[in-house]
A and B are shown apart, each in its own frame.
Chain A
Amino acid sequence: MSQADWVTTFQQQLETLGVSVNQQPANPLENALCWLIPNEHWSQLAELAAREGLRWSAGWAEHANDEFLINALLEKQGRYWLARTAVGSAKPELPSQANAFHAANRSERHTQDLFGIKFTGHPDKRPWTRHKAWDKHSHPLRKDFPVQGNPASVVPADMDYPFIQAHGAGTYEIPVGPVHAGIIEPGHFRFQAVGETILNLEERLGYVHKGIEKIAEGRTPEGLARLAGRVSGDSTIAHAWAACRAMEHAAGIAIPQQAALVRGILLERERVANHLGDIGAICNDVAFVFAQMQFTRLRENWLRSNAKIFGHRLLMDCVMPGGVKFAPSDADCQHIKQDIAQLRNELTDVITALDLNSSLEDRLYTAGFLSEAIATALGVVGYVGRASGQDFDVRRDKPYPPYDQVTFKVAFETQGDIASRFWIRYKEIMAALKLIERFIDLLEPGDIVADWQTPAAGSEGLGIIEGWRGETVCYVRFAEANRIARYYPRDPSLLNWPALEKLVLNNIVPDFPVCNKSVNGSYSGHDL
């Protein structure tokens, strides 16, 4: 079936069901078809989409005058399709899509907590992002809610969240967090266990909710790019690029070819740095310190080159609206290529030593297994998805410059265990190194930033980037005078966190850290 076919078929099927779809005459988005759906058909639409094998990618709402616009971004075969509906602000209610798409579950609860939109028929009535910083009758993302809100001088702990309980002889509960034992972000995990075996795990996130969507309102494009670069510090390029791409779409700007190539180099450098860190950390969580020391050393080398060439170890603020801040000089390009050659040599040594290590194999193989069926049902993305049979990569399937100029191999496995997520990362490092070399070869002298043009009020844009963690989505709408009216970043972690709850089942509690590291969800990117 060709790519265009499913959209036509899908539309016909919707009409057969009596769902009237209204394709907007001037499609407001460059990279997705945008259709208006009557709100009463919202969950019917999702049911059909799920049957037809569409993937639920992102959902967000907007407050405009006396109504709310609610969006659901769906994808199939690299083609994005944005369903949009409106509900009145007097009593905002909408049928939930969470029964058809598990991925919509937490996203709708986030929307419910921040906009006060009720999703009828939602399988989980509990709050999600909201703890105690605001009460259930106030809604921070409504336009009449002041950015300062009205919080208590000391916001109490969220003590009343009704976790799932387990009863029976020998069953016990382990609460962990929000302050964890390592140098990691805060979140709460509630285990039910028998002996060492995990019966159930429930995540409670939202601890690092910083009001990113609210404080984005009224920013300039530069200000938004800076904020986007701090949605999740390890994905600064992915989020900044997604935000800039959305803003550039809205403004109708095409970035220069050189800028796209430099962004590609930056994104792949971010991917390599994070994968190096993760591989070492996975080994460290099974007490294999040799790998941790080697990989943190390789990562440090890589970050020092970042600092030398791009002025920042983690590459923050290198991507800006319209282009990039720096282009590497010829000498820098030489330096990068030497780095890559050296890294390849080192990896050959280290990876061979790891591959032959039976104690490492013993801990990583079959542990933290995520089946292809569950991965599909949860709509998991990125390396977690690609290790469990989800053959999707935005760079290949919905290519954007500079990835439309190169061919490359997307790592793919169906084994689904920690070892698989380990090896996928290694393969992605190798692919990224080739991509960086290719982009450097394509670099020519030229402009690296396009002139900014103030977008018309109300213009909107969607940025979809394959960050190191996976598909990173960003929605932007402009208000008047070059100011941001709405910013919504969807980190891949939102879709991947639920997978952790499933893949730890029947593992032992002491293997939780390595299971968690193999997924490595961002708390900050999730909580916003």
Chain B
Amino acid sequence: MLRLFKKIITTGIVTEAVKYPQDAELEQLGIRIKRHIDRKFAGSIAIRQVDAGSCNGCELEIHALNNPYYDIERFGVHFVASPRHADVLLVTGPVSRHMQTALLRTYEATPNPKWVIAVGDCATCGGEFGVSYASCGAVANVIPVDAVIAGCPPTPLALIKGLLALCERH
């Protein structure tokens, strides 16, 4: 147990911009996000992530938002387990035809007001997979989309910036 505490103490808080100056930009962005979120959603925004057919690359980077470097929860952004708890749907992948109904139902289950963010090139425009017998292509072909975050996959920093863009537009 002592080793564990020692490691926690020696690791310190890596989220601090002072310790990792290259992350200063992130710190600044995050604070701006918080300000916008405060106005819209009283200090917190609940995200339901839906993989509608991605290759799982986008999921890896969305996961990274919760690592100690980005620690997106400190800005009041958190991921929830049900669309019924969500303000935002973060949708990845070209929408596979086999996921089309599941995505529509998830969208319907999300209470208003809600935002949909399409994440990654596939969700934005169909990407490498496009439209075919098995794929509906972009998320916007299936449900209304409020913002897109391009990239294959978008970096965690791009994801945070995308959230900001969404907040500013509304």
The answer on a CB contact under 8 Å between A182 and B64 is no
Q: List A contacts of B3 (CB < 8 A).
A: 349, 352-353, 356
Cα–Cα distance between A234 and B4 once the two chains are bound (Å): 29
The answer on a CB contact under 8 Å between A132 and B60 is no
Binary contact readout B1-29 vs A (1 if CB under 8 angstroms, 0 otherwise): 10110111011001000000000000000
- Segment 57-87 of B: residues with Cβ below 8 Å from A: 57-64, 66-69, 79, 81-83
Cβ of B134 within 8 Å of any chain A Cβ, yes or no, is yes
Cβ of B56 within 8 Å of any chain A Cβ, yes or no, is yes
**Distance (Å) between the CB of B86 and the closest chain A CB?**
11
The answer on a CB contact under 8 Å between B106 and A179 is yes
- Judged by DSSP, the binding face of B is mixed
Q: List B contacts of A352 (CB < 8 A).
A: 3
Cβ of A26 within 8 Å of any chain B Cβ, yes or no, is no
Binary contact readout A145-184 vs B (1 if CB under 8 angstroms, 0 otherwise): 1111111001111100000000000000000001101111
The answer on a CB contact under 8 Å between A207 and B96 is yes
Cβ of B112 within 8 Å of any chain A Cβ, yes or no, is no
Q: List A contacts of B129 (CB < 8 A).
A: 210-212, 215, 230
Query: Which residue in A146, A178, A350 is a CB contact (below 8 Å) of B102?
Result: A178
Nearest to A356 among chain B residues (CB) is B3
The answer on a CB contact under 8 Å between A211 and B52 is no
Q: List A contacts of B93 (CB < 8 A).
A: 208
Cα–Cα distance between A527 and B129 once the two chains are bound (Å): 14
The answer on a CB contact under 8 Å between A183 and B128 is no
Cβ of A313 within 8 Å of any chain B Cβ, yes or no, is yes
The answer on a CB contact under 8 Å between B94 and A210 is yes
Q: List B contacts of A154 (CB < 8 A).
A: 100-101, 104
The answer on a CB contact under 8 Å between B100 and A185 is no
The answer on a CB contact under 8 Å between A214 and B79 is no
Query: Which residue in B7, B55, B61, B68 is a CB contact (below 8 Å) of A232?
Result: B55
The answer on a CB contact under 8 Å between B134 and A353 is no
Contact status of A149 and B69, CB under 8 A, knowing A179-B102, A207-B99, A233-B58: no
Q: List 12 A-B contacts (CB under 8 A).
A: A148-B131, A185-B51, A215-B132, A230-B127, A234-B57, A234-B60, A296-B63, A296-B67, A299-B64, A300-B64, A349-B10, A352-B3
Number of B residues near A (Cβ < 8 Å) is: 56
Binary contact readout B28-72 vs A (1 if CB under 8 angstroms, 0 otherwise): 000000000000000000000111111111111111101111000
Cβ of A303 within 8 Å of any chain B Cβ, yes or no, is yes
Cα–Cα distance between A208 and B50 once the two chains are bound (Å): 12
**Distance (Å) between the CB of B112 and the closest chain A CB?**
19
The answer on a CB contact under 8 Å between B98 and A158 is yes
Q: List A contacts of B10 (CB < 8 A).
A: 349
Contact status of A183 and B133, CB under 8 A, knowing A233-B57, A297-B68: no
The answer on a CB contact under 8 Å between A183 and B100 is no
Known: A133-B134, A186-B99. 17 other contacts (CB 8 A): A131-B98, A147-B132, A149-B134, A151-B97, A156-B101, A185-B54, A185-B59, A208-B93, A209-B96, A210-B132, A211-B134, A226-B128, A294-B11, A296-B67, A297-B14, A313-B155, A314-B60
Cβ of A497 within 8 Å of any chain B Cβ, yes or no, is no
Binary contact readout A505-524 vs B (1 if CB under 8 angstroms, 0 otherwise): 00000000000000000111
Which residues of A line the B interface, CB within 8 A? 131-134, 140, 145-151, 154-158, 178-179, 181-186, 206-212, 214-215, 226-227, 230-234, 236, 277, 290, 293-294, 296-297, 299-300, 303, 307, 313-314, 316, 349-350, 352-353, 356-357, 522-524, 527
Closest 9 CB pairs of A and B: A149-B133, A233-B57, A211-B134, A296-B67, A133-B97, A181-B81, A233-B55, A353-B3, A155-B97
**Distance (Å) between the CB of B14 and the closest chain A CB?**
6
Cα–Cα distance between A146 and B131 once the two chains are bound (Å): 12
Q: List A contacts of B133 (CB < 8 A).
A: 133-134, 140, 145-151, 211, 214
**Distance (Å) between the CB of B105 and the closest chain A CB?**
8
The answer on a CB contact under 8 Å between A186 and B51 is yes
The answer on a CB contact under 8 Å between B98 and A206 is yes
The answer on a CB contact under 8 Å between B60 and A277 is yes
Q: List A contacts of B53 (CB < 8 A).
A: 186, 207-208, 210, 524
Which of B4, B59, B134, B152 has the most CB atoms of chain A within a 10 A radius of its CB? B134
**Distance (Å) between the CB of B67 and the closest chain A CB?**
4
Which of A184, A210, A349 has the most CB atoms of chain B within a 10 A radius of its CB? A210
The answer on a CB contact under 8 Å between B98 and A214 is no
Q: List B contacts of A226 (CB < 8 A).
A: 128
The answer on a CB contact under 8 Å between A227 and B128 is yes
Q: List B contacts of A145 (CB < 8 A).
A: 133
Which of B14, B49, B94, B99 has the most CB atoms of chain A within a 10 A radius of its CB? B99
Query: Which residue in B62, B82, B96, B153 is a CB contact (below 8 Å) of A210?
Result: B96
Q: List B contacts of A527 (CB < 8 A).
A: 96
Cβ of B124 within 8 Å of any chain A Cβ, yes or no, is no
Query: Which residue in B83, B94, B132 is a CB contact (below 8 Å) of A149?
Result: B132
